[in-house]
Amino acid sequence: MRTTLDLDEDLVEIARQLAAQRGVTMGQIVSALARQALEPKRPRKTRNGVPLFVPKRGARKPSLALVNKLRDEA
């Protein structure tokens, strides 16, 4: 569907860059971003009061050594 939107210049530039990077049109980028923003937010799962993070599909699990290193750097 064709329509006219009044967007801030910085957003137009970001949408233009994203479209070029992904090889799609600006309209497709704006539609995808609008859908993402309008999706209902699911409440985060927690365990013992600590939020759980869902890893991306195929992501490696962090080792205990990495967790300890990051904890010690904080």
Domain with 39 in it: 1-43
Confidence at residue 55, expressed as pLDDT on a 0 to 100 scale: 83
In a domain, 51, yes or no: no
pLDDT of residue 72: 95
In a domain, 26, yes or no: yes
pLDDT at 40: 82
**Does 69 score more than 80 pLDDT?**
yes
Query: What's residue 54's pLDDT?
Result: 81
Task: Tell me if 53 is assigned to some domain.
Answer: no
Contact status, residue 28 vs residue 19, Cβ threshold 8 Å: yes
Q: Is residue 70 part of a domain?
A: no
Asked if residue 56 is part of any domain, the answer here is no
Domain annotation covers residue 65: no
Instruction: Note the pLDDT tens digit of each residue in 12-67.
Output: 999 999 999 999 999 999 999 999 999 888 778 889 988 888 888 898 888 999 99
Rounded to whole angstroms, the Cα distance separating 62 from 69 reads 11
Q: What is the DSSP letter of 24?
A: S
Tokens (6 digits) for 1: 């569907």
The pTM for the full model equals 0.55
